[in-house]
Chain A
Amino acid sequence: MSDVKTVNRDFNTDIIGQFPGGVHPPERKQPASSRPIRRLPLPAELILPVRQHIGPSGKVLVEVGDRVDKGQRLTEAGLSQGLPLHAPTSGIIAAIEERPTAHASGLPEQAIVIHPDGEERWGNKHALPDYHDVEISRLLELVQEAGIAGLGGAGFPTAQKLAQQKPLKHLIINGVECEPYIAADDRLMQEYADDIIAGTRILQYITRCDSVLFAIEDNKPEAIKAIAAAIDDDTQIKLKVVPTKYPSGGEKQLIELLTGHQVPSGKLPMDIGLLMQNVGTAYAVKRAIIHGEPLLERVVTLTGEALEQRGNVWALLGTPIQHLLDESGFNPEKKQRIIMGGPMMGFTLPSTEVPVIKTTNCILAPTDHELPAPGPELACIRCGACSDVCPATLQPQQLQWLAKAKDYDELEKHHLFDCIECGACAYVCPSEIPLVHYYRKAKAEVRNIAREKAKAEQARKRFEARQERLEREKQERLERHRKAAEERKKMQQEKASRPDSKTDSGDEKPAGKSAAVAAAIARAKAKKAAQAAKDNADEDSSAKGNES
């Protein structure tokens, strides 16, 4: 049975499949999906973590006290995976210091703090309304310079994803947004359908791909209508409406749904000729190329019954979560939880002082009634419900046992790294086992072991290099001593063969004296060297070895 419907006229029905597992949690997208995106007043400060995405952080270009324009570059892009960061509004750099980041650990990271001046003064913009006569490499550069990362989830730098030089079968634009509560992409599609399609065409031009699949879940009728109208009669873009099921918006799940092909374990969609981009990313690419605006803001869904004004907002990157809550009529309960991301994949924020980053799509402030805190973990009863719903066809209960036993080899054999952490298994677990938590922990541990291993290898090499150096130095020292001893012997022989010079006339005296001095120096040297050899620690030479 086909799992996909279409509203467009012409498309190929024979390439449609379905993915295993999945769950149907309550959607709760209302009222956020039916309210227009609001703009909030500027916060008192913006906190921009230097590292917002996978990969190393860039070099900071500004100093405390600098005045910056809106859109001015704050960091230089790193080497391979870096992305530059831009000032989301004009203002003054108040500090460059460590601040807690939007990460479940709450560990502080280097961040640039801006105090907005409220002028919204733009720096230079290089708009490029007609990109068709521009080279693709230049467009990729512009996307990179605009600091665009995938706005759907992992935040992978978009230009690097686009730059893969492989022929594409399909470019997939992901507007599925399957996680409950979140309606940021939904609202964006309703209000900015034309911009998203324009962005899609840019992506299409960059990837030289003539088939675009635009996927939307069937619980977003307004967005489907808007996008269908924007596509109009463009035959290269096909609108695909997928049935509501969580997690059909996952990259590999959606690919299976749309094409019937599975992305092999450990491979990328690129390897089977597919590329997926989020609708938010398509919008950001359009702003970057046509308007010359870097990625400065994103749509964030503010929802949960602890908020009076639920809906979507345009949040500048770096806006503290507390500011968003304050502007939405926040009525916290006792032990109020604030979740970044959705209820399935998000994490509870350790503090509301953390900022919005490029991948923040939702801030959820649920009451205890609507989203009760999980109960105590009970024993696994091996009911198998988790493996029925796993979209990656893993065995969650087995992974859980292995994770608890810390059997990392076996975990990798059971494809732990194919887990997309969608949370479907934990959602259905009757024993309320926080399964995903165990997987995250195990993944972190496996990565750590790999890192330690690399470090140990490095230490071993350095140790061996040092042993070699010490051995070499020892040999050199022995050689020196041998030479010195020979010298000494020779001198003594000379001395013995020469007639006694003490009774010689006065004009020969200086020569004899200098010979005696030289002999004394040689003796002292030999003694010193012998001493050093005894200690077996020639300080100077080893220090020199370290310097070099």
Chain B
Amino acid sequence: MSLFGAVIALGVLALIFGVILGFAAVKFRVESDPIVDQIDEILPQTQCGQCGYPGCRPYAQAIADGDDINKCPPGGEATIKQLADLMGVEPKPLDDAHGEEDVKKVAIIREDECIGCTKCIQACPVDAILGAAKQMHTVIEHECTGCDLCVEPCPVDCIDMVAVKPKPETWQWDLDTVKENIKANSIPVKVVE
């Protein structure tokens, strides 16, 4: 008899909790996978596709589905470290197959050579190139992520990837490079021997 009571009690409890869980699953449903958002947050958003996916978000989705975390050259070591922390895996060195970590670059169009074909405009993942058919194009420098995708489609090869020059406010206190910043004839202090 007591066995019967216990089974009924547990059954009722199971039913109640089942209803609560079922209700919660519908009511508090999570639309997108938050881990993908978190990964996407870490990725550098260059949208360069070097990882083999068409943009940062698809790669974030792929990582969430179990892909390797070392396929992002623009993010480099720092991004891999953060991803490893987030995913709870060991950091690995950058996968060479996807490119090497490089200095930050921006695209510059040599404007007198541009024929106005709009091919680079279609290639740019962040709409950072301005222009129209048969009109000169130009890169909005501060919107350019340096992804390299516009270089290849250009039929006249008039796009250069140029390393971003440091400005005093972005300078990294790298005292070894100071001499390079100054013209050769004015360094450092004139010495009378």
User: Which A positions have Cβ atoms within 8 angstroms of B?
Assistant: 100-101, 103-109, 322, 331-338, 349-353, 437, 440-441, 444-445, 448, 451-452, 455-460, 462-467, 537, 539-540, 542-544, 546-547
Query: Counting chain A CB atoms within 10 Å of each CB, which of B43, B170, B174 scores highest?
Result: B170
A201 to B56, CA, bound (A): 59
A-B contact pairs, 20 of them (CB 8 A): A100-B181, A105-B173, A109-B167, A109-B168, A334-B193, A349-B189, A351-B188, A353-B186, A445-B172, A455-B142, A459-B145, A462-B127, A463-B55, A465-B127, A466-B126, A466-B127, A540-B133, A542-B118, A542-B122, A546-B132
- For residue A109, which residues in chain B have a CB less than 8 angstroms away from its CB? 167-168
Q: Let me know if A350 and B188 touch, CB within 8 A.
A: yes
| Residues of B in contact with A, size category | 35 or more
Contact A543/B45 with A106-B182, A444-B173 known, Cβ cut-off 8 Å: no
Min C-beta distance of A375 to chain B, whole Å: 16
- For residue A100, which residues in chain B have a CB less than 8 angstroms away from its CB? 181-183, 186
- For residue A441, which residues in chain B have a CB less than 8 angstroms away from its CB? 172-174
Contact A437/B55 with A459-B145, A465-B127, A542-B122 known, Cβ cut-off 8 Å: no
Q: Let me know if A537 and B122 touch, CB within 8 A.
A: yes
Q: Let me know if B143 and A338 touch, CB within 8 A.
A: no
- For residue B131, which residues in chain A have a CB less than 8 angstroms away from its CB? 543, 546-547
* Complex interface bits, B157-193 against A, C-beta within 8 A gives 1, otherwise 0: 0000000001110111111001101110011111111
Q: Tell me, yes or no, whether B128 is within 8 Å of chain A by CB.
A: yes
- For residue B190, which residues in chain A have a CB less than 8 angstroms away from its CB? 322, 332, 352
Among B44, B121, B173, contact of A456 (Cβ-Cβ < 8 Å): B44
**Which residues B28-61 have CB closer than 8 A to chain A?**
40, 43-47, 55-57
How would you classify the secondary structure of chain A's contact residues: helix, strand, loop or mixed?
Answer: helix
Min C-beta distance of A450 to chain B, whole Å: 11
A537 to B123, CA, bound (A): 10
Min C-beta distance of B189 to chain A, whole Å: 5
Q: Tell me, yes or no, whether B129 is within 8 Å of chain A by CB.
A: yes
Query: Counting chain B CB atoms within 10 Å of each CB, which of A104, A105, A351 scores highest?
Result: A105
Contact A462/B143 with A105-B168, A546-B131 known, Cβ cut-off 8 Å: yes
Among A107, A332, A455, contact of B181 (Cβ-Cβ < 8 Å): A107
Q: Let me know if B132 and A336 touch, CB within 8 A.
A: no
Q: Let me know if B129 and A351 touch, CB within 8 A.
A: no
A441 to B175, CA, bound (A): 10
Among B129, B175, B178, B181, contact of A108 (Cβ-Cβ < 8 Å): B181
- For residue A332, which residues in chain B have a CB less than 8 angstroms away from its CB? 189-192
Q: Let me know if A539 and B133 touch, CB within 8 A.
A: yes
Q: Let me know if B178 and A106 touch, CB within 8 A.
A: yes
Query: Counting chain B CB atoms within 10 Å of each CB, which of A333, A338, A546 scores highest?
Result: A546
A466 to B46, CA, bound (A): 14
A459 to B170, CA, bound (A): 19
CB nearest to A457 among chain B residues = B45
Q: Let me know if B168 and A352 touch, CB within 8 A.
A: no
- For residue A338, which residues in chain B have a CB less than 8 angstroms away from its CB? 189
A109 to B165, CA, bound (A): 12
Q: Let me know if B45 and A456 touch, CB within 8 A.
A: yes
Among A103, A335, A353, A539, contact of B122 (Cβ-Cβ < 8 Å): A539
A353 to B189, CA, bound (A): 9
Min C-beta distance of A460 to chain B, whole Å: 4
Q: Tell me, yes or no, whether B156 is within 8 Å of chain A by CB.
A: no
Q: Tell me, yes or no, whether B130 is within 8 Å of chain A by CB.
A: yes
Q: Tell me, yes or no, whether B73 is within 8 Å of chain A by CB.
A: no
**Which residues B48-90 have CB closer than 8 A to chain A?**
55-57
- For residue B171, which residues in chain A have a CB less than 8 angstroms away from its CB? 103-105, 107, 444
- For residue A322, which residues in chain B have a CB less than 8 angstroms away from its CB? 190
CB nearest to A460 among chain B residues = B45
A333 to B192, CA, bound (A): 7
- For residue B127, which residues in chain A have a CB less than 8 angstroms away from its CB? 462, 465-466, 546
Among B55, B168, B188, B192, contact of A101 (Cβ-Cβ < 8 Å): B168
Q: Let me know if A104 and B181 touch, CB within 8 A.
A: no
Among B56, B166, B170, B192, contact of A463 (Cβ-Cβ < 8 Å): B56
Q: Let me know if A463 and B126 touch, CB within 8 A.
A: yes
Q: Let me know if A462 and B178 touch, CB within 8 A.
A: no
